[in-house]
Amino acid sequence: MKQQLLILVSVTVLLVQCRKEHHSSTTPDNLFLNSKLTHFTAARLFTHDGEVLNPALAQSYQNEFSLYFFKPGDAFTDPFYSQIIFVNDDSIRYVTPGRIFDAKRTVTDTYDRFSTPYTDLANDTSSLEFYIVQNKIFRRKEISGSPNNLVYYEVDNPVFFLKKVKDTFFMPIIKYAVISRSPGIVKFGSNKLNNVFSADGVGHLAANDTLIVQSFDLAFVKIQ
């Protein structure tokens, strides 16, 4: 009986120890949390023909649609932008509500590219979001030997762009809105992207579209 009790106590201690070791694998030493918005740039305004160089008009558009833009001190509460676990200089684990993605650094730049092995397949790449970014996330593919040279596109999803400076990861965010005005009709769309804005793609706007763009960094700060 004493021998059985001793074995039971030993197993219990071992289980407690395992739980402690598992808990320590994500200690505050490597956990970075969404903490603030920083590095804001002035709003920019574009049409199909290029940039509208009128800062007052750009600010007027941003004020008109202020519910869709951010300012310093605002909270960024999207749960997809919440936590990063630092593994090493070339690896992170990106935490989302339903899944943790392992990502490897594949490009070193002002903001490094951290890629996952996951892609989406797409036949239509007309979305403006593919073109107003510096870091392209899709590739053209052709099925050799297929009838009519069948073409499709691979879209990296997810992929993360980050810059680590000491105890902070900076994630570049593009916040944009497209407004299309015609007699009696106003169409509006808005979204945000983890990427760096490029004006090279504004030629993909429709003739009546106006694009307003805001750029800033989301700071993930290490838990102390």
- What are the start-end ranges of the E strands in 108-208? 112-115, 119-122, 138-142, 151-156, 159-165, 168-182, 185-194
Q: For position 20, what pLDDT does the model report?
A: 38
pLDDT of 35 over the 80 cut: yes
Which value, in Å, is the radius of gyration of the alpha carbons in the chain? Answer: 23
Is 43 among the domain residues? Answer: yes
Is 2 among the domain residues? Answer: no
pTM given for the model: 0.84
Is 71 among the domain residues? Answer: yes
pLDDT (tens digit, 9 = 90+) per residue, 71-80? Answer: 999 999 999 9
For the chain, the average pLDDT equals 87
Is 38 among the domain residues? Answer: yes
Tell me if 138 sits within 8 A of 128, measured CB to CB.
no
Is 131 among the domain residues? Answer: yes
CA distance 87 to 98: 20
Is 57 among the domain residues? Answer: yes
CA distance 63 to 66: 5
pLDDT (tens digit, 9 = 90+) per residue, 138-165? Answer: 998 887 767 777 888 999 999 999 999 9
The total number of structural domains in the chain stands at: 1
Give the distance from CA 130 to its chain's centroid.
Answer: 13
Is 205 among the domain residues? Answer: yes
Is 48 among the domain residues? Answer: yes
pLDDT (tens digit, 9 = 90+) per residue, 198-223? Answer: 999 999 999 999 999 999 999 999 99
Q: Which residues span the domain enclosing 133?
A: 31-222
Which amino acid is present at 173? I
